[in-house]
Amino acid sequence: MMTGEEYKASLNDGRATYFEGRRVDDIMADKLMAESAEVIAKGYDLLYQPGADARSPLMDIPRSAEELKARLPLLSSVDIVANTTNQSIMTLMTAAGRIGGEHPEYAERIQAWVEDAQARDIRITECITDGKGDRSLSPGKQPDPDAYTRVVERRSDGVVIRGAKLHITGASLGHETMVIPTKAMKPGEEDYAIACAVPVNAPGVKIVNTSYAPRHEDDRVFPVSRQNHMPEGFVIFDDVFVPTERIFLNGEVKHAGQFAHSLGLWERLGGLTFMSNEADELVGFAQLIAEANGLEKVGHVREKISEMIIHATLIRASLEAAIANCTIGENGAAFPSELFTNAGKYQAATQYNLMCRHLHDISGGSVLTAPGISDLENNEVGPLIRKYMSASPNVDGETRIKLFHAIRDLTADAMGGWRYVTNIQAGGGLYAQRIVTRKHYDMENAKRMALHAAKMLPEGEAAE
């Protein structure tokens, strides 16, 4: 396995990555990119075990509800790219199980690639979302045929791909990208039915980064995002050669959707896990700031926090239900329940604004205007700020200020905005979760129950 130091050295492999208009040849020499790499390096050190046979627990395949559940604290304790690595492995193994019957050659290549990824202890990012061009048109009908990633040349030893995958979390800081179709494809769209693994430093791969990292001169007022930010990559495949052994689907439109559906499940389970923790965290902030404001016993404040608690509890319950109701696939791997995973992720995302609204309502305007740490250090105004920012005899002014800084950073500044949009979009947007939830919901039983309640169920038929 790799240590954090070895991981950082591995980034120096000639990858073409860009940030704010310039090419970054040495990631560890770029302040913001290096900070994100340090976050991933910490994850490496946390998981490191010596020995040639050691394997990262990120890449173990859970085989029961217990193993699936045991995985969650591990995933919550590591960085987002460790999570995308885990989700990529699970996606490929899920897809291999689904298409392997008809295409054993793809399942074998996936297995071999996953074993190699385990042995090299690499980090993998998920390249799914295409540029997509005109959303009302399918890939084959776009005015620009490159709007969706496609094969532009088939050779005896592999294919050449062209296209762009957008919003790819941590793309510049992983070692390989898992490239899969963003959706199901139709006959005639064979060139778009391509799934493969592409090294980040493959010739023709270019990655443009964006980041919500704080840029302020004194950034101590960003207690969360200062410690943990990850760029998103705009990944361009500018005629990239992919050798045969790295191709997991090549033209079989019938199976193109399997990869995106497989990813959706693992990505949404990851989102649901993150949002379960996030919801409890927001409840905690609401209670702490209510106490710091001296209002924790006031009726309307308690009501709002109760509503937040109910939301947080139901989201966690859906996560528990997704795992308890897992199914075991043919290859022995455990898959969380599609129904509870999608319904939970949907609910967590749609109610996130309510959680933030209550928190901001309870907190007050100092979420945005609390003076900085450097102001507290100024001898002329520091003591006065502490005095006037104190609201409860039990909580000093400085503690209250730091709570405001954390709330702003998490919910009302660059990272807050990132979370707001990401909770909705990550894992494929709300619409996708509605479709999958409906598909897995037992509508026939619901209808039987309605007929039973109306005393309209034919004699001898029972509602479950």
Ligand X SMILES: Cc1cc2nc3c(=O)[nH]c(=O)nc-3n(C[C@H](O)[C@H](O)[C@H](O)COP(=O)(O)OP(=O)(O)OC[C@H]3O[C@@H](n4cnc5c(N)ncnc54)[C@H](O)[C@@H]3O)c2cc1C
Binding site for ligand X (CB under 6 A): 126-129, 132, 135-136, 165, 167-169, 232, 418, 421-422, 425-426, 428-429, 431
Q: Which is nearer to ligand X, 88 or 293 (CB)?
A: 88
Q: Which is nearer to ligand X, 237 or 404 (CB)?
A: 237
Nearest distance in Å: CB 86, ligand X: 13
Q: Which is nearer to ligand X, 48 or 420 (CB)?
A: 420
Nearest distance in Å: CB 80, ligand X: 9
Q: Which is nearer to ligand X, 47 or 127 (CB)?
A: 127
Q: Which is nearer to ligand X, 135 or 455 (CB)?
A: 135
Nearest distance in Å: CB 161, ligand X: 15
Nearest distance in Å: CB 423, ligand X: 9
Using the Cα atoms of residue 60, residue 62, residue 66 and residue 72 in order, give the sign of their dihedral: positive
Q: Which is nearer to ligand X, 184 or 295 (CB)?
A: 184
Q: Which is nearer to ligand X, 16 or 80 (CB)?
A: 80
Rounded CA gap, 358 and 373, in Å? 26
Q: Which residue is nearest to ligand X (CB)?
A: 128
Nearest distance in Å: CB 241, ligand X: 22
Nearest distance in Å: CB 447, ligand X: 28
Q: Which is nearer to ligand X, 331 or 425 (CB)?
A: 425
Convert the chain into a string of H (helix), E (strand) and C (coil). CCCHHHHHHHCCCCCEEEECCEECCCHHHCHHHHHHHHHHHHHHHHHCCCCCCCCCHHHCCCCCHHHHHHHHHHHHHCCHHHHHHHHHHHHHHHHHHHHCCCCHHHHHHHHHHHHHHHHHCCCEEEECCECCCCCCCCHHHCCCHHHCCEEEEEECCEEEEEEEEEEEECHHHCCEEEECCCCCCCCCCHHHCEEEEEECCCCCEEEEEECCCCCCCCCCCCCCCCCCCCCEEEEEEEEEEEEHHHEEEECCHHHHHHHHHHHHHHHHHHHHHHHHHHHHHHHHHHHHHHHHHCCCCCHHHHHHHHHHHHHHHHHHHHHHHHHHCCEECCCCCEECCHHHHHHHHHHHHHCHHHHHHHHHHHHCCHHHHCCCHHHHHCCCCHHHHHHHHCCECCECHHHHHHHHHHHHHHHCCHHHHHHHHHHHHCCCHHHHHHHHHHHHCCHHHHHHHHHHHCCCCCCCCCCC
Q: Which is nearer to ligand X, 35 or 130 (CB)?
A: 130
Nearest distance in Å: CB 113, ligand X: 19
Nearest distance in Å: CB 171, ligand X: 7
Rounded CA gap, 117 and 60, in Å? 12
Q: Which is nearer to ligand X, 232 or 338 (CB)?
A: 232
Nearest distance in Å: CB 97, ligand X: 21
Nearest to 289 by CA among 171, 392, 177, 414: 392
Nearest distance in Å: CB 418, ligand X: 6
